[in-house]
Amino acid sequence: MTHELLLIIAALTMFLGVLGAISQMDIKRILSCHIVCQIEYMILGIGLFTTQALAGALFYIIHHVIVKSTLFLVSSLVQMTTGTTHLKKIGGLQARSWILNALCLIAALSLAGIPPLSGFFSKFIILKEGVQLGRYGYVAIGLVCSLLTIFSMLKIWNGVFWGEQKGEIRQVSMPMLLPGVILLVALTVSIGLFPHVIYGVVEIAAEQMMSPDAYIEAVLGSESVTQVAKF
C-alpha cells in the first residue's frame, strides 16, 4: 500500500510540476518547477520497488544533479549578460555566444530525456521496469511529462537565444565563465554515451538496498543480522 501511494503521489506531482514549468516565463522559476517534476521520476523508481527500478532512481539522481546544475549556471550567465531571467525581456543572445547556445540546448534535451544523453537512459530504466510490471498508466504519465518538458525547455532556449534582441547586453567575459558549463555538459554527454559505467555502480547499490544484510553485517557484525531478522 505504501509503494502504491508513492506511485500515485509521484504521478500527480510530476504532472503538476511540468504544468507549472509551462506556465512560467522566468527561467529560474521554470527550472525550479522542473525540480519538482524530475524528482518524481526518482520517487516513481522507489514506488516500483524492484532492483532495476531503484537502480534507475539512483541513476536519475546523478543525471539530474549534473543537468540541473548546468541549466542554473546557464541562467546565471544569461542574468549576468542581460540583467534579467524573464523571457519577455531578453532575446537574441545567439549573436553574443553561440557556444552558450549549444550548451544550453544539449542540457535542455538531456533534461527532457532525448537520446543519447544521460536523461534518456535514466528515464528509460525506470519506465522500462514500469512496463515490465504492467504499470502502463504511470509509464504513460512519465512519457507525457517528458514531452511537456521538451516544450518548456525549448521555450527557454528559443526565448533566450533567438528572436529580436531585447534590453541591454552587458560585456561579460564568456571564456572566463563557460568552462564549468562545458565540463557539466561533457559529463551528461559522456554518461549518455557510456551509461554502463554508471549503471554498473548503481545496480550494485540497488541490490544492497533490496538486501541490506551485507551492510548490517559490515557495520554491526554478523550477530546483528540475525537479531534484525528475528525482529
pLDDT number for residue 130: 95
Q: How confident is the model at residue 161 (pLDDT cuts 50, 70, 90)?
A: confident
pLDDT number for residue 65: 95
pLDDT number for residue 147: 93
pLDDT number for residue 15: 92
- Mean pLDDT lowest among 21-25, 159-163, 174-178, 189-193: 174-178
- Mean pLDDT lowest among 34-43, 68-77, 131-140, 165-174: 165-174
pLDDT number for residue 163: 75
Model confidence over 43-53: pLDDT tens digits? 999 999 999 99
pLDDT number for residue 63: 95
pLDDT number for residue 162: 85
Residue 166 contacts residue 90 (beta carbons within 8 Å)? yes
- Checking 191-197 for CB contacts under 8 A at 24+ apart, the result is 191/62, 191/63, 191/66, 191/117, 191/118, 191/121, 192/110, 192/115, 192/116, 192/117, 192/118, 192/119, 192/120, 192/121, 193/116, 195/59, 195/118, 195/121
Q: For the chain, what's the residue count?
A: 231
Q: Taking the model in full, what pTM does it have?
A: 0.88
Kindly state the cell numbers that stand for 157: 532556449
Give me the chain's average pLDDT, please.
Answer: 89
pLDDT number for residue 208: 87
